[in-house]
Amino acid sequence: MDEKELREKVVNDLVSIAPEVDPTVLEHDKPLRSQVDLDSFDWLRYLVTLHDSLGVDIPETDYRKLTTLDLLVAYLHQKLTEQKGA
Amino acid sequence: MIEFKLPVLGADMDEGKLLEWKIRPGDEVERGQVVAVVDTAKAAIDVECWQAGTVYRLLVQPEETVPVGTTIALLLAPGETVPTEVATTPAPPAPATKRRPPEEKPATAKVPATVHAAARARISPAARKRAKELEVDLDRITSGSGPDGSVVIADVERRAGKKPPAAAGQESRGQQMRQTIAAAMSRSKREIPHYYLAETIPLRKAAEWLQAKNAERPMEKRVLMAVLLIKAVGIALQRFREFNGFYRDGAFRPGEGVHVGIAIFLRDGGLVAPAIHDVPEKTLDELMSSLSELIQRARAGSLRSSELSDPTITVTSLGDTGAELVHGVIYPPQVAIVGFGRVEQRALVDEEGGVIASPAVTATLSADHRVSDGHRGALFLAALREVLQQPEQLA
C-alpha cells in the first residue's frame, strides 16, 4: 500500500467513526481532535478500526503522539514498512 | 391478569408513541423480553416487559401516542386461563376475534417483526423509524454497519440515497431533544436544592496500573480510564447510600443496586444518560464492554426502557479533550451526579513536600440538600479518592 492509499484509508475509517465529517475540509497538518469531535471512546474505536483494517498494533503509549493525520499516516506507514521488512 | 403499562422512560419523557409491537396475542413472554418499540422525544426505545406471561390482548395500536403509565397490553399470568366472559375454549388462541385489529396493522403498514428477527440482523428502532419516513423497504437492506451488523440510520439513509442533514424530520428531532433536556433540567434547578463539592484526585497509581494492564492486551481489549472512574464511583457509593436512589413524593428512597447512568453525547446533538446496571458487581472488562456497547447503541438510537428508567445516580466524564471540571445538574428523580473533568498532568505536592508531576482529575459532586449535606458529600469524595489509590482492587 503506498502512502496515498494509506491516507485515503485513514480518512475513510475516520468518517466511519464520525459520519458528520466532511473529508475535504480536514487539515492534515493540524491537530485532528480539535477539528473532529472525538471523545476518548471514539478515539480508541478509531485506532482499533485502523488496527483491524491494517493489521498494525499501536501500543497505548504511542496514542498521544498521533495528533495529526500527517503524523498518523507517517506512523502507520513506518509500521507497515517495518512489518514487511521483518 | 397482568396489566402491562408503558414504563417511565426518564424524567423528561411523559408520553410515548407506539411504533411497533414485537408480540402478538397468544405469544409467551419471558421476563426482560422486548415487547414493543416506542418513540419518545429523545429516541426510539425498546420496551421490555419484566413479568412472564402469555399475551392476551394488545390495547394500543401502532402510531398511537399514550402517557406513561397507560396499560398498553394485558397478559395472562402463568397458569391463568382466559377470563370466562370471552372464553369459549381455555387455550390462548381463544381471543381470536380480538386479535385481528392489532395484527392487521403491522402486516399492512410494515413487514412483521417476527420475520426480521428470524431472518437477519437486528434493526435499530431509530433506523426503523427513519425507514418509514424515507419509505425505504428494510427487507432490501441485508446487512448493517452498526454493532454486530445491526442496521442503523446511516444504512437506511444510504439506501434511500439521502444525505442526513437535509431532512426536516431530523431537525425537529433535534429541537424536541433540546426541549426535553430543557424541561428536565429546568425541573431539576427549580425543585432540587443543589450543593457542589470538588476534589482533586491523583491518578498516578491508577494510570500506571492501567497502562501495565493494557500493555499486555490486544487493542480492542484495552480499558479506558473512564471505566476505572465509573467503577470507583460504584464502589464508593456502597458506603454512601444517600447519594444513590430517588427522591419521590417528598421522601428519599435508596436505590436497589447501584445502576450508574452514563452521560453520553450524541453526535447529531443532544444527550442521553442510560444505565450500566450493578456497577460494583461487574469486572472492569465487563464494564468496558458494557460501556462501549451502550455508547454505540445510544448513538444508533437503540436503547432499552430499563436503561432509561433505572439509573440511581449519573456520572458525567468529560474525557481527555474536555474541560478541567464540570458541575453537573442532577437528573430528577435522582439525588446526585458525579462529574470528572479532563485527566491530565498536574503539579501536586507529594508526602515529602516535594512538587511532582502526576496525572490527576478533578472530581465533583452535585447533590440534593433535601437528602444529604456537604459534610457527607465531602466524605464521599474522600472515599472515592481513596478507592482510586488502590486500582488493583477495582479489577
What is the predicted pLDDT for the residue at B302? 84
- The residues of A whose Cβ lies within 8 A of any Cβ of B are 16, 18-20, 33-34, 37-41, 43-45, 47-48, 51-52, 57-61
Distance from B68 to chain A by nearest Cα, in Å?
Answer: 33
Domain assignment present for residue B189? The answer is no
Domain boundary among B76, B92, B119: B119
Please tell me the distance from the alpha carbon of residue B187 to that of residue B194, in angstroms, as a whole number: 12
Query: CATH number for the domain including B37?
Result: 2.40.50.100
User: Based on C-alpha coordinates, what's the Rg of chain B?
Assistant: 23
Mean pLDDT taken over chain B: 84
Confidence of residue A16 (pLDDT cuts 50, 70, 90): confident
What lies within 8 Å, CB to CB, of B110 at 6+ separation is B20, B128, B132, B138
- Model pLDDT for residues B270-282, shown as the tens digit of each residue: 889 999 999 999 9
One domain for residues B106 and B236: no
Taking CA–CA distances from B293, the nearest residue in chain A reads: A41
- Model pLDDT for residues A18-46, shown as the tens digit of each residue: 888 888 999 999 999 888 888 888 888 89
Q: Which has more confidence, B134 or B236?
A: B236
Domain boundary among B72, B102, B119: B119
Mean pLDDT taken over chain A: 89
- Asked if residue B231 has pLDDT above 60, the reply is yes
What is the predicted pLDDT for the residue at B277? 97
One domain for residues B94 and B234: no
Pairing verdict, β B44-49 and B303-304: parallel
- Asked if residue B88 has pLDDT above 90, the reply is no
Q: Which has more confidence, B175 or B283?
A: B283
Domains and CATH numbers, chain A: 3-20+31-85 (1.10.1200.10)
E-strand spans in chain B?
2-5, 15-21, 28-29, 33-39, 44-49, 53-58, 65-67, 71-76, 194-202, 245-248, 251-254, 260-262, 264-265, 271-272, 275-276, 303-304, 313-317, 336-340, 344-349, 355-368
Confidence of residue B343 (pLDDT cuts 50, 70, 90): very high
One domain for residues B344 and B238: yes
In A, which residues are within 8 Å of B319 by CB distance? 39-41
**Residue pair B293/B147 in contact by the 8 Å Cβ criterion:** yes
Q: How many domains does chain B have?
A: 2
Domain assignment present for residue B130? The answer is no
| Number of A–B residue contacts, CB under 8 Å | 48
Query: CATH number for the domain including B244?
Result: 3.30.559.10
State whether A40 and B319 contact (CB < 8 Å).
yes
Q: What percent of chain B has pLDDT over 70?
A: 84
State whether B321 and A48 contact (CB < 8 Å).
no
Q: Give the lowest-confidence range in B118-122, B255-259, B371-375.
A: B118-122
- Asked if residue A10 has pLDDT above 60, the reply is yes
Taking CA–CA distances from A38, the nearest residue in chain B reads: B321
Per-window interface: B 307-326 vs A, CB < 8 A: 319-322
Q: Which has more confidence, B191 or B42?
A: B191
One domain for residues B68 and B199: no
One domain for residues B84 and B198: no
Domain assignment present for residue B350? The answer is yes
What is the predicted pLDDT for the residue at B98? 40
In A, which residues are within 8 Å of B164 by CB distance? 19
Q: Which has more confidence, B158 or B194?
A: B194
What is the predicted pLDDT for the residue at A46? 92
Residue given cell 433536556 in the structure block: B181
Which three cell numbers mark B215? 500493555
Nearest 5°: CA angle at B249, between B246 and B253? 30
- Asked if residue B172 has pLDDT above 50, the reply is yes
Distance from B153 to chain A by nearest Cα, in Å?
Answer: 11
- Asked if residue B104 has pLDDT above 50, the reply is no
Q: What percent of chain B has pLDDT over 90?
A: 59
Per-window interface: B 261-300 vs A, CB < 8 A: 265, 267-268, 291-292, 295
Domain assignment present for residue B71? The answer is yes
State the complex-level ipTM: 0.85
What is the predicted pLDDT for the residue at B319? 83
Disruptive mutation site among B203, B211, B262, B267 for chain A (greatest number of A CBs within 10 Å): B267
Domain assignment present for residue B136? The answer is no
In A, which residues are within 8 Å of B209 by CB distance? none
Considering B112-116, B159-163, B172-176, the range whose residues carry the highest mean pLDDT is B172-176
Domain assignment present for residue B153? The answer is no
Q: What is the mean pLDDT of residues B187-216?
A: 96
Q: What is the mean pLDDT of residues B356-373?
A: 97
What is the predicted pLDDT for the residue at B161? 62
Q: What is the mean pLDDT of residues B174-191?
A: 90
| DSSP of B131-171 | HHHHT--GGG----SSGGG-B-HHHHHHHHT--GGG-HHHH
One domain for residues B215 and B311: yes
What is the predicted pLDDT for the residue at B148? 61
- Asked if residue B95 has pLDDT above 50, the reply is no
Q: Which has more confidence, A83 or B282?
A: B282
Taking CA–CA distances from B217, the nearest residue in chain A reads: A59
Please tell me the distance from the alpha carbon of residue B334 to that of residue B34, in angstroms, as a whole number: 25
Q: What is the mean pLDDT of residues B24-47?
A: 89
State whether A41 and B220 contact (CB < 8 Å).
no
State whether A39 and B321 contact (CB < 8 Å).
yes
What is the predicted pLDDT for the residue at B170? 53
Q: Which has more confidence, B333 or A85?
A: B333
Confidence of residue B327 (pLDDT cuts 50, 70, 90): very high
What is the predicted pLDDT for the residue at B299? 86
- Asked if residue B43 has pLDDT above 60, the reply is yes
Domain boundary among B119, B143, B171: B119
One domain for residues B104 and B219: no
Provide the domain limits for residue B11: 2-119
Domain assignment present for residue B156? The answer is no
Q: What is the mean pLDDT of residues B43-70?
A: 90
One domain for residues B109 and B246: no
Domain assignment present for residue B209? The answer is yes
Confidence of residue B119 (pLDDT cuts 50, 70, 90): very low
Among B164, B268, B321, select the one facing A33 at the smallest CB separation: B321
One domain for residues B245 and B380: yes
In B, which residues are within 8 Å of A16 by CB distance? 145
What is the predicted pLDDT for the residue at B329? 97
What is the predicted pLDDT for the residue at B15? 86
- Asked if residue B385 has pLDDT above 90, the reply is yes
